Amino acid sequence: MEKKAIRVAYGEALVKLGENNEKVVVLDADLAAATMTNGFKKAFPGRFYDCGIAEADMVDIAAGMSTMGLIPFCSTFAVFAGRCYDQIRNGVCYPHFNVKFGFSHAGITLGEDGGSHQAIEDLALMRVLPGMTVFAPSDANEVYQCVEAASRIDGPVYIRTARLPSPIYDPRPFTVGKGNVLEDGSDCVIFTCGIILEHVLDACEILKAKGYKPALVSFHTIKPFDDQLAREYTAKCKKVFTVEEHSVIGGLGDAVASAVIGHGVEYFEKIGINDVFGQSGKPADLLKEYGLTGPQIAERIMKNL
């Protein structure tokens, strides 16, 4: 299956957006070659602003630029969401300015740079901000849709992307705030988001091979969350598992929990980074270390079926 890092798709999407919308400007903090905004920089040098290694300044500059009718897309590593969080909160979200954040290298599959650079908390940070739309796309096609949708939303939007090349799936229907059912089933439901989908699909195949009928629902939008779909599948399957490349605190798992509590849950388990920081290693080794490979996910689920 063809693979593409979703950060690469983000860079491509920005160039396409730039061609169609002259209000779009792109800001980076000396990471254009990593966040992949360098494509936009090359295509539209007059609309690309490097802010230097100063993420907080980048976010507030974007806030100011948005008041002039521009649509700024800011990019840096997702781990630095914490570094410029006050600016995202007070500079952008409090006044509900029209600023977009395409933050890359999220999760442990960042790999070798280690725990200091592996964002496991960004979804939690972003979910809690009033008025923020939060996207966690699972492949290149969803990234294209998220970037396009972000440009049409009047307000702050966070798009979580990743470094590791991951499979490109056939395009799925895309509506902001709506999940996609990838597998219908009745024994349990697995809710997921982001590029960990590759391994969740593996887990599903294992479960099916063992005779189980798992349902699988993928969410590209973490906020506003598709409470209705989560409840529907919870009521149908009763046993709920969430899988994410993020802390089990504050991310997709908690979004699902908030939605489905009191809606017929018989069993609920969050699979993700279990309240620890990551470490250096090859992405495949890290996924195994933190229990996020297909077989490991399948095993945890089967224990409770």
Partner 1 sequence: MDIQALKATARQVRRDIITMVAKAGAGHPGGSLSSTETMVALYFDVMNVDPKNDKDPNRDRFVLSKGHSAPALYGTLCERGYFGREEFDLFRQLHGILQGHPDIKKCPGVDASTGSLGQGISIAVGMALGAKHTGNKCHVYTIIGDGESQEGLVWEASMAAAHYHLDNLTVILDHNGMQIDGTNDEVMSLGNIRAKAEAFGYDVIEVADGNDMQQVLDALHTPACPGKPRYIIMNTLKGKGVSYMEGQVGWHGKAPNAEQAEQALKELEG
Q: Using the rule CB under 8 A, is 65 a contact of partner 1?
A: yes
Part of the chain binding partner 1 (CB under 8 A), chosen from 9-17, 35-43, 91-99, 262-270: 91-99
94 binds partner 1 (CB under 8 A): yes
45 belongs to the binding site for partner 1 (CB under 8 A): no
User: Is 154 or 170 the residue whose CB approaches partner 1 more closely?
Assistant: 154
Number of residues in contact with partner 1, rule: CB under 8 A?
Answer: 26
Residue 176 touching partner 1 (CB under 8 A): no
Nearby residues of 241 by Cβ (< 8 Å), 6 or more positions away: 188, 189, 190, 191, 268, 269, 270, 271, 300, 301
Interaction between residue 24 and partner 1 (CB under 8 A): no
Rg of the chain over Cα atoms, rounded to whole angstroms, equals 19
Instruction: Determine the residue type at 198.
Output: E
DSSP E strands, 177-302: 180-183, 188-192, 214-218, 221-223, 239-247, 267-273
From 62-70, 136-144, 214-222, 248-256, give the range in contact with partner 1 by CB under 8 A.
Answer: 62-70
- Residue 263: exposure state from Cβ atoms within 10 A (0-12, 13-18, ≥19): middle
Phi, psi angle pair for 14, to nearest 5°:
-65, -40
The amino acid occupying position 142 is: E
Q: Does 90 engage in binding with partner 1 (CB under 8 A)? A: yes
Pick the binder of partner 1 from 34, 43, 54, 249 (CB under 8 A).
54
Subset of 68-87 contacting partner 1 (CB under 8 A): 68-70, 86-87
Question: Would the CA dihedral through 69, 84, 278, 239 be positive or negative?
Answer: negative
Q: List residues with catalytic annotation.
A: 55
Contact by Cβ (8 Å): 216, 204: yes
Instruction: Work out whether 155 is an interface residue with partner 1 (CB under 8 A).
Output: no
Query: Is residue 85 within 8 Å of 125, Cβ to Cβ?
Result: yes
25 near partner 1 (CB under 8 A): yes
Contact between 49 and partner 1 by CB under 8 A: the answer reads yes
Nearer to partner 1 by Cβ, of 54 and 302: the residue is: 54
Distance CA 213, CA 195 (A): 22
| Smallest separation, CB 16 to partner 1 (Å) | 21
Give the binding site for partner 1 (CB under 8 A). Answer: 25, 47, 49, 51-52, 54, 56-57, 60-70, 86-87, 90-91, 94-96
